[in-house]
Amino acid sequence: MTTLDHATVGPDHDVRAARTLPRLVARRGAPRVRREDTLPSIAVAEALGADVVEVDVRRTADGVAVLLHDETLGRLWGDPRRVAEVSWCEVARLGNGLDRIPRLDAVLERLDGCRAAVLLHVVDPADALVATRTVAASAWDTAVAWTGTSPALAAVRAALPTTDVWLPWESLDVPTAADVSGLRPSTLVLDDVFLTPDTVAAAHDLGLAVAVRTVDEPEPVRWAARTGADLVATEDVASVRAVLAGGERDGWALSERGPTEDEVGTRAQALAHRIAHEVIAFTREHPIGQVATKHGDGDPVTDVDRAVERLVRSRVRAAFPTHGFTGEEYGTAPGDRHHWWLDPVDGTTNLVNGVPWTAMSLCLTRAGQPLVGVVADPWRGEVLEARRGRGAVLRDTPLRLDDAPRPLAGAVVGAEFGGLGAWDGLGRLVVALAERSCAVRVMGSSTLTLAQVAAGRGVGGCVPSFDPVDHGAAVLLVHEAGGVVLTLDGPVDGFPRAGEPVLVAHPGAADELFTIWSSALGAR
């Protein structure tokens, strides 16, 4: 048994040398051609020229290492049981012909003498230990590397101290020597949403190769190559190889002309619309999962928050790989003068407690000016969207606030606490509005509190501190619907300054609301 050739993908590789094409990692073989994680799928990937074939390894009830991505046999093989509860004899009978679940030792034999190495993906430490015993006992000369969860890789490293490990890196923070010293990896594995020039440079400085996954579309492939990735993991080896060959032939430089603002706006608006509807379905259907806290007990984060942000980042990266991105959960990835701002779930406390009042906020800016914004309300199934200079719409119906006077009596104004408590002046605002028979609602999603005004639901809304992550899309919606956006200095066009108190209002109530709101904030 051998390990991967570190002269090309390991710490001895001079990743800062002249540009070479990224090597190709075929994820689960060739799943677009043959059933994933089977011998035919591996054979197709190897024939297409994959440098590395990544497969998923689990164990049967009697301790046989087999290829399977899922914990259960249901999705691919029609058996709802966990594979760890089923004997190899039963597993071997599933499927037909060559489309069956293979043993790991059969895969090692199949790739013996081939140019393609095998990358074993392990999730469970118990699965990893069974796989390490299989690899250690193998007589086949197949290059092997490992990747997966941290506990599983720790088990691999303990069992096989000199084996080749690829460390997943799920952060926009650059890796340090301390981060990688324990597992001693040869390669850093990045999801495409975490691929940045700074991370690649830091990995290379540590002597690590960089693999980016899962990249199937042309633009992200080119981005990965331009950024300096050493390996590209894909489910479509043939298409990615063609894109890389085209880049080698035609060069990797971006077009000197580049898209116009109108072209970017049109594409971004269509993308944001699709993302919003995808997020609505995901948020409604996905279990909340584990609930943790970020800055205190009153600041929860769930699996949904993280999953939605990764989904959105991936969609944006696929369409606009050079754009910057700031998200609530994973922070900032730098880019060109275009920048996206995302709050995947604004109102997470509501989500955790089963209150159907949350939203996704996604906004694109160009040189600091808002260009496109969407607010997705999963519980009404609504997408409010706006494009600078083109108006705002809800379900293809234009949103337009008239200039008719709106009395505060009988009206509703939205407010949000901001952070973990009420802001100074909120109580005075509530009292002043109550004296005018105007109701105040604190619903728990500042995105919706502001965005609802654009839809004519309430005469105003206020938040104590503007943040484009939470409020960028809603502010653009109000502007494009004809509403008024104010700070304590008066109306603003574009974004308020970060951290400023913000009031949005129906034009017919803006003056009176501003007087009351600013007085409440300024009172001592």
Q: Which one is predicted more confidently, 228 or 18?
A: 228
Least reliable range by pLDDT among 254-263, 282-291, 469-478: 254-263
Span 41-67, average pLDDT: 97
pLDDT of residue 111: 95
Task: Please report whether residue 1 resides in a domain.
Answer: no
Query: Per-residue confidence at 70, pLDDT binned at 50, 70, 90?
Result: very high
Q: Looking at the structure, do residues 391 and 269 belong to the same domain, yes or no?
A: yes
Task: Please report whether residue 84 resides in a domain.
Answer: yes
pLDDT of residue 306: 95
Neighbours of 306 (CB within 10 A): 20
Query: Per-residue confidence at 259, pLDDT binned at 50, 70, 90?
Result: confident
Task: Please report whether residue 156 resides in a domain.
Answer: no
Query: Per-residue confidence at 97, pLDDT binned at 50, 70, 90?
Result: confident
Per residue in 167-184, pLDDT (tens digit) is 999 999 999 999 999 999
DSSP label at 175? Answer: P
pLDDT of residue 281: 95
Distance CA 27, CA 48 (A): 13
In contact, 117 and 143? CB cutoff 8 Å: yes
Distance CA 389, CA 521 (A): 32
Question: How much of the chain exceeds pLDDT 90, in percent?
Answer: 83
Task: Please report whether residue 483 resides in a domain.
Answer: yes
pLDDT of residue 123: 98
Distance CA 6, CA 3 (A): 8
Q: Looking at the structure, do residues 82 and 135 belong to the same domain, yes or no?
A: yes
Q: Looking at the structure, do residues 389 and 442 belong to the same domain, yes or no?
A: no
| Overall domain count for the chain | 4
Q: What are phi and psi of 102, to 5 degrees?
A: -90, 155
Distance CA 482, CA 438 (A): 22
Task: Please report whether residue 425 resides in a domain.
Answer: yes
pLDDT of residue 8: 42
Cα separations in angstroms, 47 against 15, 44, 392, 449, 469:
27, 5, 51, 56, 46
Task: Please report whether residue 19 resides in a domain.
Answer: no
Look at residues 336, 369, 399 and tell me which one is the last residue of a structural domain.
Answer: 399
pLDDT of residue 396: 85
pLDDT of residue 18: 39
Q: How far is CA 284 from the centre of its chain?
A: 17
Task: Please report whether residue 291 resides in a domain.
Answer: yes
Q: Looking at the structure, do residues 223 and 270 belong to the same domain, yes or no?
A: no
Q: Looking at the structure, do residues 356 and 472 belong to the same domain, yes or no?
A: no
Look at residues 202, 217, 249 and tell me which one is the last residue of a structural domain.
Answer: 249
Cβ-based burial of 2 (10 A; exposed 0-12, middle 13-18, buried ≥19): exposed
Q: Positive or negative, the Cα torsion across 228, 229, 231, 232?
A: negative
pLDDT of residue 11: 38
Residue 2 pLDDT exceeds 70: no
Look at residues 249, 277, 294 and tell me which one is the last residue of a structural domain.
Answer: 249
Residue 96 pLDDT exceeds 80: yes
Distance CA 316, CA 193 (A): 9
Q: Looking at the structure, do residues 280 and 392 belong to the same domain, yes or no?
A: yes
Can you give the CATH number for the domain in which 184 is found? 3.20.20.190
pTM assigned to the model: 0.81
Distance CA 43, CA 343 (A): 43
Span 189-218, average pLDDT: 93
What mean pLDDT, rounded, does the chain reach?
A: 92
Q: Looking at the structure, do residues 140 and 205 belong to the same domain, yes or no?
A: no
- Domain containing 269 equals 261-399
Query: Per-residue confidence at 129, pLDDT binned at 50, 70, 90?
Result: very high
Q: Looking at the structure, do residues 376 and 292 belong to the same domain, yes or no?
A: yes
pLDDT of residue 13: 39
Q: Looking at the structure, do residues 502 and 481 belong to the same domain, yes or no?
A: yes
Q: Looking at the structure, do residues 477 and 456 belong to the same domain, yes or no?
A: yes
Span 422-434, average pLDDT: 92
Q: Which of 500, 497, 271 is nearest to 363 (CA)?
A: 271
Q: Looking at the structure, do residues 293 and 416 belong to the same domain, yes or no?
A: no
Helix locations, 38-170, DSSP H: 39-47, 74-77, 88-92, 104-110, 125-137, 150-159
Can you give the CATH number for the domain in which 416 is found? 3.40.190.80
Per residue in 135-174, pLDDT (tens digit) is 999 999 999 999 999 999 999 999 999 999 999 999 999 9
Residue 12 pLDDT exceeds 50: no
Per residue in 476-511, pLDDT (tens digit) is 999 999 999 999 999 999 999 999 999 999 999 999
In the block, residue with structure tokens 């919003």: 276
Least reliable range by pLDDT among 27-41, 214-228, 276-290: 214-228
Task: Please report whether residue 277 resides in a domain.
Answer: yes
Span 375-392, average pLDDT: 97
In the block, residue with structure tokens 């085209």: 246
Query: Per-residue confidence at 19, pLDDT binned at 50, 70, 90?
Result: low
Q: Looking at the structure, do residues 377 and 268 belong to the same domain, yes or no?
A: yes
Q: Which one is predicted more confidently, 298 or 17?
A: 298
Residue 301 pLDDT exceeds 50: yes
Can you give the CATH number for the domain in which 267 is found? 3.30.540.10
pLDDT of residue 250: 81
